């Protein structure tokens, strides 16, 4: 019951349910007609037909009815003509038989359709076109044998022009496949309702924004990514990966509240989602540092750091930051507690013992301060000089 694995699902009353038979059959029939249309007129081409690029169809749509009539006519013709060894009938049957396994008629294959599924069926289609072209040329030349060559030349000219058009489309399409970023951001213009494509475009924009050559455009690229990802979650409200990427995007913009909210939504959908758990922890710790060091908001800093500590109670850096924030806010008791736990987590860390000594000093216990600093010097004799620098 995951939309990215089964496109024949919809949300009703807040939960995913399967299509009704009429919706399923109409949507499948529409895609069969779409395959034929792409063979005849391959535009626009996209690599992604995930929900909801193909909408939920019904039998009241003329496109479904037209597709049904074309398919029925082709199959009936093939059935009648096959015993007469008509190559057109063979080509039609070859087309449908090789398309059948990926047609979603037997089982959902994970997507409504895909252009790559036409590689084998297109052989049958090309056979039909070639045979029909030959038959048309010959039939026109029966009564005027001296004009057979002219007729054939005209047919070759027509198909030559079509071939040139298809060749241009191939070369033009190749440019889009330069890299993932180009492919996703180009195709999303033709498939704006594909949740998967929106998610892919958002993810690639985030990744590209972190490259050194895109430093000046980083914020603009991340905001564009957020736009794609928010549309993805609108189409697919339980798309956990989209919420994960949203959390990443907001993190890079230092919009930590939205980042945390996005990760928490992903974890609501999947409480064991490892990437969301890891990124939530890192964001909470980063937010704590940001509000403490950049905004001087110790209350919010402590709030985020405590939430981070709940996720990873043995993280040294979180304990260190909590000790510092507590000490600056005048809470020496908690500062000592956090720094003590930090020395337990990393007993060989001289800085941890030095910080604990400082906390005892601010609490008014000089003897314990000296003892902690002595312990730090045993681990790193130069620790005092480093602190002065």
Model confidence pLDDT, tens digit, residues 146-198: 566 677 777 788 888 888 999 999 999 999 999 999 999 999 999 999 999 99
Given 144, 176, 208, which residue is the final one in a domain? 176
For position 149, what pLDDT does the model report? 67
> Could you tell me if 157 and 19 lie in one domain?
yes
**Residue 4: inside a domain, yes or no?**
no
> Could you tell me if 130 and 216 lie in one domain?
no
Phi/psi zone of residue 147: left (φ > 0), alpha (ψ -120 to 50 degrees), beta? alpha
Closest CA to 253 of 280, 281, 221: 221
Residue 278: give the domain boundaries: 180-388
> Could you tell me if 220 and 82 lie in one domain?
no
pLDDT tens-place string over residues 303-352:
999 999 999 999 999 999 999 999 999 999 999 999 999 999 999 999 99
- β partners of residue 16: 11
> Could you tell me if 161 and 260 lie in one domain?
no
> Could you tell me if 261 and 212 lie in one domain?
yes
Assign 1 a pLDDT band (cuts: 50, 70, 90). Answer: confident
CB-based contacts of 137: which residues, under 8 Å, 6+ apart?
148, 151, 152, 154, 155
Instruction: Give the max Cα distance, the chain.
Output: 118
pLDDT tens-place string over residues 71-80:
999 999 999 9
For position 389, what pLDDT does the model report? 60
Given 150, 176, 202, which residue is the final one in a domain? 176
Number of domains in the chain: 2
pTM, two decimals, is: 0.92
For position 153, what pLDDT does the model report? 74
pLDDT tens-place string over residues 256-265:
999 999 999 9
Given 129, 153, 176, which residue is the final one in a domain? 176
For position 313, what pLDDT does the model report? 97
Assign 387 a pLDDT band (cuts: 50, 70, 90). Answer: confident
> Could you tell me if 93 and 17 lie in one domain?
yes
Q: Pairing state of beta strands 9-12 and 15-18? A: antiparallel
Mean pLDDT score, 279-294: 97
């Amino acid at each position: 019951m995951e939309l990215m694995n089964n496109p024949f699902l919809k949300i009703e009353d807040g939960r995913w349910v399967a299509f009704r038979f009429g919706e399923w059959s109409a949507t499948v029939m529409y895609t069969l007609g779409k395959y034929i249309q792409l063979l005849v007129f391959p535009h626009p081409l996209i690599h992604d037909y995930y929900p909801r690029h193909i909408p939920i169809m019904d039998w009241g749509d003329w496109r479904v009815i037209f597709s049904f009539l074309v398919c029925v006519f082709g199959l009936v013709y093939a059935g009648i003509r096959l015993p007469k060894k008509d190559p057109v009938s063979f080509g039609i049957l070859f087309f449908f038989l090789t398309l059948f396994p990926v047609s979603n008629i037997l089982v959902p294959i994970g997507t409504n359709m895909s252009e790559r599924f036409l590689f084998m069926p297109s052989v049958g289609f090309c056979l039909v076109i070639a045979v029909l072209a030959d038959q048309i040329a010959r039939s026109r030349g029966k009564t005027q044998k001296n004009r057979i060559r002219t007729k054939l030349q005209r047919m070759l000219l027509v198909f030559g022009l079509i071939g040139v058009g298809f060749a241009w489309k191939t070369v033009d399409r190749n440019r889009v496949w330069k890299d993932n970023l180009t492919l996703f951001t180009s195709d999303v213009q033709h498939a704006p309702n594909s949740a998967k494509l929106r998610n892919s475009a958002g993810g690639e924009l985030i990744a590209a924004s972190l490259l050194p050559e895109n430093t000046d455009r980083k914020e603009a690229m991340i905001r564009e990514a957020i736009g794609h990802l928010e549309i993805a979650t609108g189409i697919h409200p339980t798309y956990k990966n989209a919420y994960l990427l949203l959390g990443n995007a907001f993190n890079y913009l230092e919009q930590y509240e939205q980042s945390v909210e996005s990760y928490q939504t992903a974890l609501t959908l999947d409480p064991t989602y490892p990437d969301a758990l890891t990124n939530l922890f890192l964001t909470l710790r980063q937010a704590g540092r940001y509000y403490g060091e950049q905004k001087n908001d110790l209350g919010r800093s402590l709030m985020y750091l405590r939430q981070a500590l709940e996720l990873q109670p043995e993280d040294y850096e979180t304990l260190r930051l909590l000790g510092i924030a507590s000490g600056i806010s005048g809470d020496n008791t908690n500062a000592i507690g956090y720094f003590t736990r930090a020395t337990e987590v990393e007993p060989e860390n001289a800085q941890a013992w030095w910080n604990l000594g400082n906390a005892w000093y601010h609490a008014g216990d000089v003897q314990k301060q000296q003892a902690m600093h002595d312990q730090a010097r045993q681990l790193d004799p130069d620790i005092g000089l480093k602190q002065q620098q």
